[in-house]
Amino acid sequence: MSATLETVDTAPRYYQTFHPDTHAVRAELEQGLCAPNAWVPPKFLYDPLGSCLFGAITQLPEYYPTRTEQAIMARYADEIAQRVGGVGALIDLGAGDCVKAERLFGRLCPRQYVPVDISTEYLRGAVARLHAGYPGLDIVALGQDFSHTLSLPEDVLDDGRLFFYPGSSIGNWSPEQALGMLRQVREACGERGGSLLIGVDRVKDERTLVRAYDDALQVTAAFNRNLLLHLNRVLRADFALADWRHLACFDAARSRVEMHLQANAPVTVNWPGHSREFSAGETIHTECSYKYEPTDFAALLDAAGFNDIAHWTDAQGWFSVFHARA
Ligand SMILES: C[S@@+](CC[C@H](N)C(=O)[O-])C[C@H]1O[C@@H](n2cnc3c(N)ncnc32)[C@H](O)[C@@H]1O
């Protein structure tokens, strides 16, 4: 009699704590929009369409971070796997389409996969696709906004946790906020062999940096302007796309690329209980992407309580991947 391989189908579990339709979310948006220098936290760039547009951005010739990070991960895959060792839960912060983590499954063989993302509908679709390909993999998906607190349910395995934070998403926080985020991750690693694998974009020439956020096809412009459609839905606001254009610039002193939406002409935007006048040329600041020198980022990891830090980079020194133990 020939043996048959049985695969146990484990249905993914979802825990959704982020809901855009709440007073707290509207209050957070109103606070930024009504500030003298208007701003919106970058997490609001990600609704279902925003997440798809980000996926398209990663395919653009100008957007070097994704392919450079991927090349580093592929080149040093054996070394990374050896350092990381046995993985219990692979916890993917800002998982998006889950594709980057999926590429690690073969080498790291996690016992559990925990994608975390604020773009909850998109996450559900990505997890359904992943489950079809890996029916035996234990998946615990978290629809969560980790800018407030990172909170893991009890069924997330607590030995050998590997936090995965790719794509230089850490650069969307100021260095002070990034330190707070890394401290949270350090805490959540626990005391049973937890660690962090993180991708960080590096300082480079201004033209390369700005083109990555202002591509010729204007996909990043669409990604940024889609934020207004998201705000219209969440706030019931009346932003008109034609009134706003995309801007990207590099602030060398702060080592960050900034994205803004700039008013083409004087415009008044209304939503229930509020209205905000914008003068021509005034902007809404929508994203920062801080760029780090490797020594500065290693110091941040150290200050957050990580140790035994390893670092890999590409031939041009454009991007860094770090592994650090809790
Ligand atoms: C730059 S994309 C990176 C996606 C993917 N990890 C990659 O590297 O290609 C940032 C991801 O983080 C998610 N995200 C942003 N802010 C978040 C927050 N505060 N809480 C949870 N997820 C967040 C977004 O929805 C998006 O999927």
What are the tens digits of pLDDT across the range 113-146? 999 999 999 999 999 999 999 999 999 999 999 9
What are the tens digits of pLDDT across the range 70-107? 999 999 999 999 999 999 999 999 999 999 999 999 99
Amino acid 299: pLDDT: 98
54 lines ligand 1 (CB under 6 A): yes
Amino acid 21: pLDDT: 87
Nearest to 245 by CA among 227, 269, 270: 227
Instruction: For the chain, give the secondary structure using H, E and C.
Output: CCCCCCCCCCCCEEEECCCCCCHHHHHHHHHHHCCCCCECCHHHHCCHHHHHHHHHHCCCCCCHHHHHHHHHHHHCHHHHHHHHCCCCEEEEECCCCCHHHHHHHHHHCCCEEEEEECCHHHHHHHHHHHHHHCCCCEEEEEECCCCCCCCCCCCCCCCCCEEEECCCHHHHCCHHHHHHHHHHHHHHHCCCCCEEEEEEEECCCHHHHHHHCCCCCCHHHHHHHHHHHHHHHHHCCCCCHHHEEEEEEEECCCCEEEEEEEECCCEEEEECCEEEEECCCCEEEEEEEECECHHHHHHHHHHCCCEEEEEEECCCCCEEEEEEEC
Determine the atom of ligand 1 nearest the C-alpha atom of 55.
9
C-alpha 246 to ligand 1 mean position (Å): 20
Mean of pLDDT values over 166-185: 98
135-156 core/surface letters (b: 16 or more CB in 10 A; e: else)? eebbbbbbbbbbbeebebeeeb
pLDDT band with cut points at 50, 70 and 90 for residue 6: low
pLDDT band with cut points at 50, 70 and 90 for residue 183: very high
pLDDT at 24 over 80: yes
Mean of pLDDT values over 225-241: 98
Which two tokens mark 147?
Answer: 């800018």
pLDDT band with cut points at 50, 70 and 90 for residue 148: confident
Amino acid 39: pLDDT: 98
Q: Which of 5-9, 24-28, 30-34, 40-44 has the lowest mean pLDDT?
A: 5-9
Domains and CATH numbers, the chain: 13-18+49-205+291-325 (3.40.50.150)
pLDDT at 1 over 50: no
Mean of pLDDT values over 14-42: 96
Give the Cα separation of 182 and 176 in Å (integer): 10
pLDDT band with cut points at 50, 70 and 90 for residue 2: very low
pLDDT band with cut points at 50, 70 and 90 for residue 7: low
Task: Tell me which residue has its CA closest to atom 27 in ligand 1.
Answer: 96
Task: Tell me which residue has its CA closest to atom 12 in ligand 1.
Answer: 94
Mean of pLDDT values over 238-245: 98
Four-residue CA torsion sign, 147, 149, 150, 155: negative
Amino acid 4: pLDDT: 53
What are the tens digits of pLDDT across the range 263-285? 999 999 999 999 999 999 999 99
Task: Tell me which residue has its CA closest to atom 1 in ligand 1.
Answer: 169
Which two tokens mark 175?
Answer: 């260095």
pLDDT band with cut points at 50, 70 and 90 for residue 9: confident
C-alpha 145 to ligand 1 mean position (Å): 10
Please work out, in degrees rounded to the nearest 5, the angle formed at the alpha carbon of residue 291 by the alpha carbons of 51 and 30. Answer: 50
Amino acid 45: pLDDT: 98
C-alpha distance across the termini of the chain, in Å: 49
Q: Which of 54, 92, 201 to mutate to test the pocket of ligand 1 (most atoms within 8 A of CB)?
A: 54
What are the tens digits of pLDDT across the range 246-257? 999 999 999 999
Give the Cα separation of 33 and 171 in Å (integer): 22
